[in-house]
Amino acid sequence: MNLVFDPAWLPRLGQGVLLSVQLTAYCMGIGAVLGAVLGLVRVYGGGRWSPLYWAASAYVHFFRGTPLLVQLLGIYLGLPTVGILIGPFLAGLLAMTLNTAAYQAEYFRGAIQSVKSGQMMAARALGMSRGQAIGHVIMPQALRLIIPPWSNELIYMLKYSSIVSMTALRPETMDLFGVARSIASRNFRYFEVYILVALFYLAMVLILTVALRWVERRVRIPGLGTPGRGI
Amino acid sequence: MALLRVENLHKRYGHEEVLKGVTLTQEAGETKVVIGPSGTGKSTLLRCINRLTEPDQGQVWLEDLEITSRRSDINQIRAKIGFVFQDFNLFTHLTALDNVRLGLTKVRRMPRAAATDRAMAELDRVGLAAKAGAYPAQLSGGQQQRVSIARALAMDPKLILFDEPTSALDPELIGEVLSVMIQLARDGMTMIVVTHEMGFARSVADEIVFMEGGVVVEQGPPEQMFRSPQIPRTGEFLRKISELYGESS
Amino acid sequence: MNLSAWTEIAPHIPVLLRGILVNIELLLGLISLGLGVGVVTALVEVYGPRPLGWAAGAYTWFFRGVPEIVLLFLFYFGLSQFGVPVSAFFAAVLALGLRSSAYQAQIFRGALQSIPHGQMMAARALGLGRVKAIAYVILPQALRLSLAGWSNEFSSVLKDTTLAWGIGVVEVMRQASYIRARNFTLTLPIYITVALMFLVLTYVGNVAIGLAERRLRVPGLEGRR
């Protein structure tokens, strides 16, 4: 068994890393905004029977309960059949964003609900409106509590970005794994290429883990939340 | 005109009627102490006054403004009524200074520098200027409660409602909070205090209100309530509570 | 998408069901492989000698950090490169199963570590050996405690079985693409139908785990959350 690694692979894999990071960053950013809104609606959007609560819950259940791959292919292959043309990169980004928004909504909900109820009461007693209380008192605390689950989600999405190239192997969807597939399909060095790519992902996960722990420590406030959990 | 009038207040939770028509009048500068067995609606009464809990029936007036009216801006009214909670409820993510400053900058829209000066002055008043940068988790229970009193004071309230302010404290920390409250009463702050601290009630209350079963059973000045209550049940309760909690303060 | 597309779905349902049956087979295979390897890995991490514990830690770290799809391709194409004949199905069970074992190991490790120290001491005081103490006292408690975490892992791996499509396993996604190749107007209804099938499976699975949790519940032994 002799293994062959070719340094010529590296620049292309580097390009792939860039696209994977981009996809992950965009979907996590937009997903955080959507997730925060959905989470707020699930907590403050009226009772169990308000249409807003119901819609947000249906959304969260649907996107958490179905495979990302089904969502991706539904969007990439399904939308054009109803006249909505969408390229593979955008389809991948859209699927990942809609998916992570549902998961992040649950993290936001959990974080908001774990802020003690007295905090809202004290804010209202000072004369703050509900919106002010959420903005100045509840969310600043929830945002700190959400860092550990959010870090996990970020790493999940980085790994899941590897499925966007399953739509079509086109240059614009050449994420890290897509590049690996295209290299391996030409030289048949599957094992070497995929092991190398696995190490690339591991390195990215390691860097993110360390960076997020650092952020968590930077914004930590005594008495709020627990020390970071391992990822 | 009385500063605060509570008229025929009712509140029901499910089957249980917690307030069965409470009526009170509070003059400016007066300190009223509300006592009674637990579960008789004392805390509910306080929360209904600034509508943290919505009463089912009855009216509350702050001077000539009806708090319970749907048309009145409740947030504006709450800004004028301080509230001190049993479990402090300091904002966990903010330092002592920021806890006191938040209402000033966000509700009263005071410029930041002026708000800082005012907040520091209030922290100084409760003896905690040195702890301005500490987070709630870094303060003792007594210190936290003093910060929460400073938070209420900073808003220039017309009156402050105290909901069992010392019940969550270790015995050795009760004194520091009570002495801040005694000083406030002597300075002429208008206060309604729900408490079991009979020493406090006896020495600073202008009036003691005894509540039981969702109604006011008896009210009057401390000497009268302690020496010659009109209703036997009042005397019985006062004797029991004085034995239990002592009169230290 | 019009109504007629939806009525045309009906004849294809049996094919989709045959496909999702393969997903269920994959699920059963990978989750039992993951359970076995996961429990052993967790035990080694907590009770094993230091170097073995480190090896177990590196193992779980590798399988938790590499994307599922990379593992699938590595096990399927990588093994065949060295002349190891593996079917796509077997490679999928192996890749997804080992990945799941890493996650399950983490769940069990947490459960093992949350059992009070006195339990082990009391078992040893009775004269039980270390292995017997683990088998009769620690493990039965740890397995119960890990049911909650395990139900998360279940719904996550159930959905990940669709990734086996990438290496050619004829599961529900493959059947869906066969159907849409013949009639592309059905694309969206087909994928929505598949999505609904997964919603149902997730729901049924969680109810079953919930029932198991209730049956196995012992008073005083609850997950601390």
Q: What is the pLDDT of residues A208-223, one digit of tens each?
A: 999 999 999 999 998 8
CB within 8 Å: C173 and A73: yes
Q: For residue A79, which residues of chain C lie inside 8 Å, CB to CB?
A: 188
Residue C83 pLDDT exceeds 90: no
Q: For residue A195, which residues of chain C lie inside 8 Å, CB to CB?
A: 74, 78
Residue C6 pLDDT exceeds 80: no
pLDDT, block means (10 residues), chain B with 249 residues:
94 93 96 93 95 95 94 94 96 96 95 97 97 96 97 96 96 95 96 94 94 95 92 91 67
Contact predicate C100/C38, CB 8 Å: yes
- The domains of chain C are located at 3-216
Q: Tell which phi-psi region holds residue A172, choosing left (phi > 0), alpha (psi between -120 and 50) or beta.
A: alpha
CB within 8 Å: A127 and B155: yes
From residue C62, alpha-carbon distances to B14, B53, B96, C33, C163 in Å are 55, 54, 45, 17, 19
Measure in Å the smallest separation between the Cα of B87 and chain A Cα atoms: 8
Q: For position A228, what pLDDT does the model report?
A: 38
From residue C74, alpha-carbon distances to A164, C81, C101, C157 in Å are 18, 10, 17, 18
Q: For residue A68, which residues of chain C lie inside 8 Å, CB to CB?
A: 159
Contact predicate B225/B237, CB 8 Å: no
Pairing type for strands B65-66 and B191-194 reads unpaired
Q: For residue C77, which residues of chain A lie inside 8 Å, CB to CB?
A: 184, 190-191, 194
- C69 or C216, greater pLDDT: C69
CB within 8 Å: B91 and A123: yes
Q: For position B11, what pLDDT does the model report?
A: 96
Average pLDDT over residues C204-215: 88
CB within 8 Å: A125 and B138: no
Q: For position C163, what pLDDT does the model report?
A: 96
Average pLDDT over residues C8-24: 93
How many angstroms separate the CA atoms of A66 and C91, rounded?
Answer: 23
User: Nearest CA to B90 among A194, C31, A137, C15?
Assistant: A137
Contact predicate B220/B207, CB 8 Å: yes
Contact predicate A40/A134, CB 8 Å: yes
Of chain C, the percentage scoring pLDDT greater than 90 comes to 69
Please state the pTM of the whole predicted model. Answer: 0.88
* List of chains touching B (3+ CB pairs within 8 A): A
Hey, how many other C-beta atoms are within 10 angstroms of the C-beta on A54? 15
Q: What is the CATH number of domain C3-216?
A: 1.10.3720.10
pLDDT band at C2 (very low <50, low <70, confident <90, very high): low
Chain C interface includes A81 (CB < 8 A): yes
pLDDT band at C222 (very low <50, low <70, confident <90, very high): low
Structure tokens at B5: 């009038």
pLDDT tens figures, C110-157: 999 999 889 998 999 888 988 999 999 999 999 888 988 888 899 999
- The number of helices, as runs of H, and strands, as runs of E, in chain C is 12, 0
Residue at C133: amino acid letter? A
Q: For position C224, what pLDDT does the model report?
A: 42
Q: For position A52, what pLDDT does the model report?
A: 93
Q: For position B247, what pLDDT does the model report?
A: 55
Contact predicate A162/A177, CB 8 Å: yes
Contact predicate C8/C183, CB 8 Å: yes
How many angstroms separate the CA atoms of B72 and A143, rounded?
Answer: 33
Q: What is the DSSP string of A66-84?
A: S-HHHHHHIIIIIHHHTT-
Judging contact as 3 or more Cβ pairs under 8 Å, the answer for B and A is yes
Interface predicted TM-score of the whole assembly (ipTM), two decimals? 0.90
Q: For residue A160, which residues of chain C lie inside 8 Å, CB to CB?
A: 67
CB within 8 Å: B93 and A224: yes
Closest partner residue to A127 (CB to CB) among B75, B85, B148 is: B75
Q: For residue A77, which residues of chain C lie inside 8 Å, CB to CB?
A: 180, 187, 191
Contact predicate A134/A89, CB 8 Å: no
List of chain A residues with pLDDT < 70? 1, 226-231
Best C151, C160, C162 member to test A by mutation, with max A CBs in 10 Å, is C162
Half-sphere exposure for B225 (CA within 13 Å, toward CB): 27
Q: Return the ∠ at Cα B117 (arms to B113 and B121), rounded to 5°.
A: 165
How many angstroms separate the CA atoms of B169 and C53, rounded?
Answer: 47
- Which residues of C make CB contacts under 8 Å with A? 1, 61-62, 65-71, 73-74, 77-82, 155, 159-160, 162-163, 165-166, 173, 176-177, 180, 184-185, 187-188, 191-192, 194-195, 198-199, 202-203
Continuous H helices in chain A: 9-44, 51-65, 68-73, 79-81, 88-113, 117-125, 130-133, 139-145, 147-160, 176-187, 190-218
User: Residue holding tokens 């005071």?
Assistant: B110
Chain C interface includes A5 (CB < 8 A): no
User: Nearest CA to C153 among C101, C111, C204?
Assistant: C101
Judging contact as 3 or more Cβ pairs under 8 Å, the answer for A and C is yes
> Sign of dihedral through CA atoms B38, B44, B45, B50?
positive
Judging contact as 3 or more Cβ pairs under 8 Å, the answer for C and B is no
Compute φ and ψ for B63, nearest 5 degrees. Answer: 50, -120
- Which residues of A make CB contacts under 8 Å with B? 115-116, 118-119, 121-129, 132, 136-137, 140-141, 144, 221-224
